Amino acid sequence: ALAGLNVLVFLFTQYLAPAWQQRLGLYSYVPVPGLSIGVAEGPDQWYRLLTAMFVHAGFAHLATNMVSLLVLGPPLERALGRGRFLGLYLLSGLAGNALAFLVSGGALYSVGASGAIFGLLGATVVLVHRNRAPMGPVVALLVFNLVVTFSLSWIDWRAHIGGLVAGGVMAVGLVYAPRGHRGLVQGLTAAGLLALVLVTLVLGTARLGG
């Protein structure tokens, strides 16, 4: 379903209504002090953190992310359940985009599901460790992706790192929650991450004068 939604949004923004790429993308710009555009304007524009997760800059960008989603997603969905998996995916993407805004909100345009995908990667590391499975392959995959992230200038490393950390934290709360208080701990973990995203947005907006 997530892959299908990404494909539909790609077709819409790439071929039917290209202007919506910027309307839905993670766009923030402060050309002069006191003039804020996009996310920096304030809460009315914060929807972009969510919508940007489903916008892609080209077919190669879309294909790379969707292959990663279809490889990493199913094992995590089976282990966590659909609802928890969806929460992990969305919160990772939101956290990655929030970090990108905090770091570069004065001149920012970013799109793609990469932050959410890195969240799945971080969660996979936690789950593999929890199940006492061999860590070598997943660590190698993580290191490879980090090297690529910091080697290519057009990749938004902020969204990748933010998503990775959020996905790992979320997974810890999900799989290590004590049995007697599992629902409470899992809910607090998700709520804590969402609160952190909101705090990041408030701080970034205040810093830019929005």
Give the count of domains, the chain. 1
Q: Retrieve residue 38's tokens.
A: 């996009």
The CA R_g of the chain, rounded to the nearest whole Å, is 17
At 55-85, the pLDDT tens digits run 999 999 999 999 999 999 999 999 999 999 9
6 lies in which domain range? 2-208
Predicted local confidence at residue 208, as pLDDT: 84
At 105-149, the pLDDT tens digits run 999 999 999 999 999 999 999 999 999 888 888 999 999 989 988
Identify whether 61 is a catalytic site residue.
no
CATH code of the domain containing 184: 1.20.1540.10
CA distance 54 to 62: 9
Predicted local confidence at residue 152, as pLDDT: 84
Catalytic residue among 114, 129, 153, 181: 114
Catalytic residue among 56, 68, 92, 160: 160
> Any idea what the Cα angle at residue 54 is, between residues 9 and 205, rounded to 5°?
130
Q: Report CA torsion sign: 97, 103, 105, 109.
A: negative
Identify whether 160 is a catalytic site residue.
yes
Q: How many Cβ atoms sit within 10 Å of the Cβ of residue 163?
A: 33
Residues 6+ apart with CB under 8 A from 56: 6, 9, 10, 14, 62, 65, 111, 112, 113
Residue 154 in this model has a pLDDT that exceeds 90: no
Task: Using CB atoms within 10 Å of the CB of residue 84, give its burial: 0 to 12 exposed, 13 to 18 middle, 19+ buried.
Answer: buried
Write down the pTM of the prediction.
0.94
CA distance 6 to 135: 30
**Cα separation values, 114 from 16, 161, 183, Å:** 23, 10, 28
Residues for the chain: how many in total? 210
